[in-house]
Amino acid sequence: MPYITVGKENSGTIDLYYEDHGAGKPVVLIHGWPLSSKSWEKQMPVLLDAGYRVVVYDRRGFGNSAKPTSGYDYDTLAEDLHKLMTKLDLTDATLVGFSMGGGEVARYLSTYGSGRVEKAVFISAIPPFLLKTSDNPEGIEGSGFDGIMEGIVADRPAFLAGFFPEFYNIDVLGGDRVSDEVVRLSWNIAAAASPVGTLDSVSAWLTDFRDDLTNIDIPVLVVHGDADRIVPFTASGKRIPGLVGDSRLVVIEGGPHGVIWTHANRINRELLDFLGRQARPLEPVVGLS
């Protein structure tokens, strides 16, 4: 398996697992919390079939990557992404950030610029600023994040078992757009993540990305479900276009947080349209949008 070393902790290296497939313009898929690059299962084949080079990687602490006890802030996470982009010498790339991954996209572009990147996509993403403050009344009360951290500390596996039904809106979409097995797979991936990384990442969600977004000088696509219970649309996706000059907002009606699975066909069409290619029909489509 391919790895890139991004740092060191005591006697061990901090290595990120990545996959690099296909040819053509690169598309870098950055996963959300508390999953791994495996969450892009519905997007990778479609992008490869459309003629793109697809790069995915596991954030430090998650998936097959090293699990250090530090570095779960967005300056470090964006630096990890920068080291991967540089190592693979990616140019004319599109960065696609899902959920927490949207933070890497925003901070990377603000810090390192768009020299290697021509487009960016935010899906169910946490920018611009999730925490409610006096100058950010659209945000979420801090007590909500405190509750998440308390749940993780008390019983992380149990917390995750309650988290994923809300991630996919199982009470509404279960059995139709998402199976029990998908929820189980998500739990298995999340349970194997670093307990420290799982907890510390929650604090990173409170990062203020408003200035980062105003520095973005490339076209941006924002996709968000209006029934997202994890990262509410009104606190996040709805506000990103107001801070980015060249942007397009797509709202998925009834879409939960995990739209890259529940509404994969729609996500894939929007991605390929934004990338400048037309999607081939997916088989079977069974009427899903």
State the catalytic residue, choosing from 36, 80, 124, 257: 257
Segment 132-181, tens digit of pLDDT: 999 999 999 999 999 999 999 999 999 999 999 999 999 999 999 999 99
What's the whole-model pTM score?
0.95
pLDDT at 1: 76
Q: Is 36 a catalytic residue?
A: no
Query: Which residues are CB-neighbours of 131 under 8 A, at least 6 positions away?
Result: 139, 140, 142, 145, 206, 208
d(CA 160, CA 205): 17
Q: Which domains does the chain have, with CATH numbers?
A: 3-275 (3.40.50.1820)
Q: Is 228 a catalytic residue?
A: yes
Q: Is 224 a catalytic residue?
A: no
State the catalytic residue, choosing from 36, 99, 124, 247: 99
Asked if the model's pLDDT at residue 289 lies above 60, the reply is no
Q: Which of 246, 243, 204 is nearest to 104 (CA)?
A: 204
Asked if the model's pLDDT at residue 284 lies above 90, the reply is no
The confidence band for 282, taking pLDDT boundaries of 50, 70 and 90, is: very low
d(CA 40, CA 261): 8
Q: Where are the alpha helices (DSSP H) in the chain?
A: 44-49, 74-87, 101-112, 142-167, 170-173, 180-191, 195-204, 210-214, 259-262, 264-275
Mean pLDDT of the region 196-211: 98
pLDDT at 286: 36
State the catalytic residue, choosing from 37, 58, 228, 247: 228
Mean pLDDT of the region 119-133: 98
pLDDT at 279: 42
